[in-house]
Amino acid sequence: MRTPTPWAPVILAALLTTLPLQAGARLDLKLRAYEGSREAALTPPSFVTSSYMQPTITANLHTESDLSKETAQIKRVFNLKDVTLLTEAVMTLGGETPDRPADTARHFFRLNGSAFQVNVRMIETKPSMRFLVVFNEIVKEKPQNILTTEMLLVGGHTAVLGFEDRGGKPYFCSFHVSGPADMIPAPPPPPPPPRPDDIQKKLEQFEKGAVKASKDIKPPRLVKKVAPVYPPEAKEKNLEGMVVINARIDTQGNVSDVMVLKSSGEIFNAAAIEAVKGWKYEPMVLEGKPRDAIFTVTIRFALSKDKKDPDPPKKPDAPQPPDPPQPPPPPLPSSRG
C-alpha cells in the first residue's frame, strides 16, 4: 500500500516555470463528488495513516457530461449497486490571485465531518489537456496529502478518481472540461476503417474450430431470447435500423462471442450485441458430439407507430366555387279589382 506523500514541492517548482494558459484565458473544470454502494460489503481496508480516505483506482471514461449518463457509466464501470451525487462545483483556472497562480484552481468540500481540499494545476493544453491533481485532507487545520496524480482530459472524456473510507465505502471524484466552448477539447478522430485483409483474418479467427451453419447444416434452435434495449438517442431522433451479427455458441448453447458483420449505424451496435449475448440455444450436435457453432442473426430496431412523429398535417382542401346565384322570387299578384 502506498504511503501518502506531501505536496511534491519539486514537481510544483518545475511547473511554476510554465504557464500553459495564455494571458486572459479561462478554463472551467466541473468537479463532481459521488458516494457509491456495492452489492456486498467488502473487508474494510487497513489504513497506515490517520487519513479518513485512501485512494483506490483512477480511470478515464468516455462518457457524456450529462449527470445521469455520467452516473450510469460510473455505476457500470466500477460494478456498483448505486451512485449518489454528494456535491459539484466549477473550478476555474485563469486570473491570477495573491494566493494562487493563474493556471491553478482550488476547491474545499466536507464529507462525513472531514474537510478536503482539491488542487488542480494545468501542465499542458496540447496535444491534450494534462493536469496535476492533489487531494489533501485537512487534519488539525493542516493539509495532509491523500493523493498526488496526473490526469489527462481529451474531448468526450471524464477523469474519475476513486477512494475508500475506513469502512470500505467507495467514493469518486470526476473531472471534465465544461467551458468556455472554445476551450473544450475536440474528441479524438475515429480510428481508420480496417483493411479488407484485416477483416478476413478477424473472421477466420472468429470461426476457428467451430461448425458454420449453411444450407446443409441448420443453425440450432433458439430457446431463450432477450429483446434489445432501443438506444435512447436513436429513439429521440426517430431512427430505425438493423444489425447483422455473427454469433458463436459453445457446447452448452451459450453465446460465447459475437461479431458485427453489417449495421445501419453504430448507434445500434452496442444494444444488439448486448441482447444477443443473452440468448440461449440448443447445443449443436454433430455425429453425437456437441460442437461450437457459428451462424448469423439479424436484430431489427423499429419504432411503434405511436412512438414516431405524428403524421404531417394534411393540406387544406381546395376552395370550392360559390353556389350559383338564385333567381329572384316572382312578383306578388296585384290586389286591385
Q: Which tens digit of pLDDT belongs to each residue from 1-27?
A: 344 444 444 344 333 444 566 656 788
pLDDT of residue 31: 92
pLDDT of residue 245: 93
pLDDT tens string 262-312: 998 889 999 999 999 999 999 999 888 999 999 999 999 998 766 555 455
pLDDT of residue 14: 39
pLDDT of residue 191: 65
pLDDT, the chain, mean: 79
pLDDT of residue 9: 41
pLDDT at 50 over 50: no
Report the distance separating Cα 242 and Cα 260, nearest Å.
11
pLDDT tens string 227-244: 999 999 888 889 999 999
Q: In the chain, where do the E strands start and end?
A: 27-37, 53-62, 82-93, 104-111, 114-124, 129-139, 142-153, 157-165, 170-179, 211-212, 222-224, 241-249, 255-263, 280-281, 284-286, 289-291, 293-301
pLDDT at 325 over 80: no
pTM equals 0.50
- Domains of the chain (ranges plus CATH)? 9-183 (no CATH), 196-307 (3.30.2420.10)
Which is it for strands 293-301 and 211-212: parallel, antiparallel or unpaired?
parallel
Residue 101 cell numbers, joined? 497562480
pLDDT of residue 47: 40
pLDDT at 256 over 70: yes
Which is it for strands 157-165 and 170-179: parallel, antiparallel or unpaired?
antiparallel
Q: Of 214 and 223, which is predicted with more confidence?
A: 223
Binned at pLDDT 50, 70 and 90, residue 334 comes out as low
Q: Of 305 and 29, which is predicted with more confidence?
A: 29
pLDDT of residue 146: 86
Angle at the Cα of 66 from the Cα atoms of 64 and 70, rounded to 5 degrees? 65
Q: Percentage of residues in the chain with pLDDT exceeding 70?
A: 73
pLDDT of residue 45: 45
Q: For the residues 307-335, what does the mean pLDDT come to?
A: 59
Instruction: Using the CB atoms, write b or e for 19-28: b if 16+ within 10 Å.
Output: ebbeeebebb
8 Å CB contact between 224 and 280: yes
Q: Percentage of residues in the chain with pLDDT exceeding 90?
A: 25
Report the distance separating Cα 184 and Cα 176, nearest Å.
9
pLDDT at 80 over 60: yes
Q: Which long-range contacts (CB under 8 A, 24 or more apart) does 273-276 make?
A: 273/243, 273/245, 274/228, 274/229, 275/226, 275/227, 275/228, 275/229, 275/299, 276/226, 276/245, 276/247
Residue 56 cell numbers, joined? 483506490
pLDDT of residue 291: 93
Q: For the residues 32-42, what does the mean pLDDT come to?
A: 79
pLDDT of residue 120: 92
pLDDT tens string 130-157: 899 998 988 888 888 888 888 888 776 8
pLDDT of residue 203: 86
pLDDT tens string 86-128: 989 999 888 767 777 778 899 998 887 788 899 999 888 776 7
